[in-house]
Structure 1
Amino acid sequence: MLGELLLRFVLAAVIVIAAGTVLARSGDVIAARTKLGGAWVGSIFLALATSLPEITTDIAAVRMGAVDLAVGDLFGSSMANMLILALISLAPAGVDLFRRAALDHALYASLAIVMTLLAAMALQTRATATVAGIGVSSVILVATYIVTSSFAFRHSTVTREAGEVMEMARSGDPATLDHVSSTSLRLAILQFLAGAAVVVLVAPQFAHAAEGLAEVSGAGRTFVGTWLVGLSTSLPELVTSMAAIRLRAFDLAVGNLFGSNAMNMTLFALLDVVNGGVPVLSIAAPAHLLTALTATLLTTIALGTLVLRFKRVASVREPGSLLIVGGYVAGLALLFWHTQ
Structure 2
Amino acid sequence: MAATSVLVFVAAGVLVAWAGVTLARAGDEIARRAGLSRLLVGVLLVGAATSLPEIATDVSASLAGSPDLAVGDLMGSSMANMAILALIDLMHRHQVWPAVEIGHARVASVAIGLTALATLGVLTPPGVAIGWVGLDTIVIAGAYVAMVAWMRRSPSGRFGSSSLIPVPTGWSKPTRGELRPAVLRFGFAALVILGAAPLLANSAQEIAAAAGIAETFVGATMLALATSAPELVAAVAAVRIGAHDLAVGNLFGSNAFNMAALVVADAAYLPGPMLTVVDPGHAVAGVSAILLMGLALAALVHGTETRLRRLEPDALVLLVAYLGGLFAIWSTGA
TM-score (norm 2): 0.92
Deviation at 1:96, TM superposition (A): 1.8
Q: What is the 5 A alignment of 1:120-131? A: 120-131=119-130
Hey, what does 2:32 align to over in structure 1?
32
Q: Secondary structure at the match of 1:286?
A: coil
Alignment partners' CA distance in 1, 2:32 and 2:162: 13
Deviation at 1:103, TM superposition (A): 0.5
- Which amino acid in 1 is paired with 2:302? L
- Which amino acid in 2 is paired with 1:154? R
Hey, what does 2:63 align to over in structure 1?
63
Q: 1:187 to 1:285 in 2, by over 3 A?
A: same
Measured on the aligned residues, the alpha-carbon RMSD in Å equals 2.5
Select the residue among 218, 225, 240 that pairs with 1:246: 240
- Which amino acid in 2 is paired with 1:330? G
Hey, what does 2:154 align to over in structure 1?
155
Offset from partner CA, 1:220-265 (integer Å, 9 cap, x none): 1000000000111000000110110011000000000000000000
Which stretch of the first structure deviates more once superposed, 68-77 or 11-20? Answer: 11-20
- Contact 1:67/1:284 (<8 A) preserved: yes
Hey, what does 1:225 align to over in structure 2?
219
1:198 equivalent to 2:195? Answer no
Which stretch of the first structure deviates more once superposed, 245-254 or 182-191? Answer: 182-191
Alignment partners' CA distance in 1, 2:184 and 2:162: 28
- Contact 2:80/2:224 (<8 A) preserved: yes
Select the residue among 253, 262, 267 that pairs with 2:256: 262
Deviation at 1:127, TM superposition (A): 2.4
Alignment partners' CA distance in 2, 1:4 and 1:312: 51
Alignment partners' CA distance in 2, 1:156 and 1:267: 28
Which stretch of the first structure deviates more once superposed, 110-119 or 183-192? Answer: 183-192
- Contact 2:103/2:158 (<8 A) preserved: no
1:104 equivalent to 2:98? Answer no
1:331 equivalent to 2:325? Answer yes
1:290 equivalent to 2:284? Answer yes
1:5 equivalent to 2:16? Answer no
Q: Percent identity?
A: 38
Hey, what does 2:266 align to over in structure 1?
272
Q: Secondary structure at the match of 2:270?
A: coil
Q: 1:170 to 1:279 in 2, by over 3 A?
A: closer
Deviation at 1:320, TM superposition (A): 3.1
- Contact 2:102/2:167 (<8 A) preserved: no
- Segments of 5+ residues of structure 1 without an aligned counterpart are 172-176
Hey, what does 2:54 align to over in structure 1?
54
Deviation at 1:147, TM superposition (A): 1.0
Deviation at 1:163, TM superposition (A): 12
Q: Secondary structure at the match of 1:214?
A: helix
Q: Secondary structure at the match of 2:261?
A: helix
Q: What is the 5 A alignment of 1:66-215? A: 66-92=66-92, 95-155=94-154, 158-159=157-158, 184-215=178-209
Q: 1:299 to 1:163 in 2, by over 3 A?
A: closer
- Segments of 5+ residues of structure 2 without an aligned counterpart are none
TM-score (norm 1): 0.90
- Which amino acid in 1 is paired with 2:125? R
Alignment partners' CA distance in 1, 2:290 and 2:34: 32
- Contact 2:99/2:168 (<8 A) preserved: no
- Contact 2:32/2:175 (<8 A) preserved: no
Q: 1:97 to 1:145 in 2, by over 3 A?
A: same
Offset from partner CA, 1:93-113 (integer Å, 9 cap, x none): x63211101101001000000
Hey, what does 2:296 align to over in structure 1?
302
- Which amino acid in 1 is paired with 2:128? A
Q: 1:168 to 1:153 in 2, by over 3 A?
A: closer
Deviation at 1:6, TM superposition (A): 1.4
Which stretch of the first structure deviates more once superposed, 224-233 or 270-279? Answer: 270-279
- Which amino acid in 1 is paired with 2:152? F
Alignment partners' CA distance in 1, 2:32 and 2:167: 10
Offset from partner CA, 1:160-179 (integer Å, 9 cap, x none): 9x9999866899xxxxx9xx
Q: 1:63 to 1:159 in 2, by over 3 A?
A: closer
